[in-house]
Amino acid sequence: MYRYVIITSCLLWLGGCYTVSNERFSADIHKLLEPGSDMASATKKLEAIGFSCDPVSAAPSTTCTKTRQGILPYTCIERVNLIPASKQTGVERVDIPQIMCAGL
């Protein structure tokens, strides 16, 4: 009986951990943000789901990042680059680089 409780607990714990999926991440962000939307509202939407946005970066785009922990001792960084339109108020393009991970 205790063996089943321990196995079930371990499976539930492992099921809640982060796994890297660039395709799923990209699809989720593209559902959330659309080109042509306001830059301020786009950054607020990303910040609402845990991203930290830096509108004063050296690049002409606004970069938003989110750090995620994996099952093993490694950390992954999800990034979203919001490329502004010529008027600097709207989003012309949403670039989603590959998720970068590092660890032991």
pLDDT score recorded for residue 73: 75
pLDDT score recorded for residue 52: 94
pTM confidence score:
0.73
Residue 71 and residue 44: Cα distance in Å, rounded?
Answer: 29
Mean pLDDT of 21-43: 88
Classify residue 81 by burial, with Cβ atoms within 10 Å: 0-12, 13-18, 19+: middle
pLDDT score recorded for residue 2: 64
Residue 64 and residue 87: Cα distance in Å, rounded?
Answer: 20
pLDDT score recorded for residue 46: 93
Q: Residue 15 corresponds to which amino acid?
A: G
Mean pLDDT of 7-14: 52
pLDDT score recorded for residue 1: 64
